[in-house]
Amino acid sequence: MDGLEDRAEAALESVIEQLYTNCTVKIRHSSRDSVMLRISDALKASRERTIVAKKLVFRSGISVIGLRWLQEALQAGRNNVEELEFHCLPDGETLYRAIRCCRQSGIMRLSLKHYNDTFRRTLLPEIIRSGLMSDQCHYEDDPLPETAVTLEYLEIANYPIGTDGAKILVTPILSNPTLKTLKLIDCDLRSDSATYIAEIIRGSQCLETLDLSYNRHYLSSQITRELTLRTLTQRGLKHNLNLLELRMEQTRSVPMDRSKIDRQLDINRFRKDYLEKRRDPMAIHPSMWCHLLARVSVKPSALHLFLQDSVATLFSR
């Protein structure tokens, strides 16, 4: 037993040392309170030695007590931690508190991976919604927050939220005005989820990257795939001027026509390049301008601002 304890202590010391040397630190036995206590103490002592780690990965879940220690450490210490990634959270309370921990600690990037089937999957969307929103408080010792969680990056992977979950998460996602990257990977989204995903695309005007990989929303038939892509394009992407990337990879090769989506994304990328003055607008093929103006004209105010900014270049002579 002494040998096992010595190896465990050496492994823990190695993880603590990585806080000062690595940008990403993976904590394998994060479900043990003794491990989280040591990690939290190291984060609190960051005034003595600078913490380099920007991302903490908790590989085996975490307890409520461990989350409290982590939150206190992130608030008290002077560290550079910007992202938290939680795997296999044991129950709904820890899932809720993990999301709330981001707000209390000022963390802007959150990843939730690998659903733990010890609690009911039907509760997942509501728990995530409660954590992201500010209008509900599920636990007595958790004070009612003044504002919702503000994130720039949100990844939910291998959480079977389904279509009902997509519907529930529309409001909390749209209430986050700073969200730039949203990943709903392997979340059991189907063809009937496309309407809610399109609503998220349409309403999230700061969203630049959306990842819907490894879902089943267009695997049923060619007709289903076409309807899904049409819904995402006509109800969502056509009204969003900022989305730059839409990923829909699958585990097996599925033929689908992404031409319309890719054309819309190309126009958005061109618009961003133009606004940032990284590209000469006159270098584009003339046939592209009609598509661009038709694309932007969905929002008259956007068309007005676009033409206002470009008139000096277009009619410089």
Q: β-pairing, 109-113 with 209-211?
A: unpaired
pLDDT band at 268 (very low <50, low <70, confident <90, very high): confident
> What pLDDT is attached to residue 156?
96
What's the CATH superfamily of 11-285? Ribonuclease Inhibitor (3.80.10.10)
Instruction: Give the chain's end-to-end CA distance (angstroms, integer).
Output: 84
Phi, psi of 226, rounded to the nearest 5 degrees: -65, -40
Q: What is the pLDDT of residues 108-152, one digit of tens each?
A: 999 999 988 777 788 889 999 989 986 555 555 555 455 566 899
Whether the per-residue pLDDT at 282 is higher than 80: the answer is no
In this structure, of 87-101, 124-138, 157-171, the range with the lowest mean pLDDT score is 124-138
Whether the per-residue pLDDT at 311 is higher than 60: the answer is no
Helix (H) or strand (E) holding 83: strand 83-87
CA dist 188 and 298 (Å) reads: 32
Q: What average pLDDT does range 84-95 have in this prediction? A: 93
Residue 49 in contact with residue 18, Cβ under 8 Å?
Answer: no
Q: What average pLDDT does range 187-199 have in this prediction? A: 92
What residue spans define the domains of the chain? Answer: 11-285
Residue 216 in contact with residue 194, Cβ under 8 Å?
Answer: no
- The reported pTM is 0.83
> What pLDDT is attached to residue 317?
41
Query: Between residues 18 and 77, which one has the greater pLDDT?
Result: 18
Nearest partner of 161 among 134, 125, 196, judged by Cα: 125
Q: Count Cα atoms within 13 angstroms, Cβ side, for 156.
A: 24
Q: What mean pLDDT, rounded, does the chain reach?
A: 82
> What pLDDT is attached to residue 150?
84
Q: What is the pLDDT of residues 218-241, one digit of tens each?
A: 666 778 888 888 899 989 998 888
Residue 233 in contact with residue 260, Cβ under 8 Å?
Answer: yes
> What pLDDT is attached to residue 138?
53
Quote the tokens at residue 177: 């005005």
Residue 60 in contact with residue 88, Cβ under 8 Å?
Answer: yes
Quote the tokens at residue 118: 């010890």
Q: What is the pLDDT of residues 69-89, one digit of tens each?
A: 999 999 886 778 999 999 999
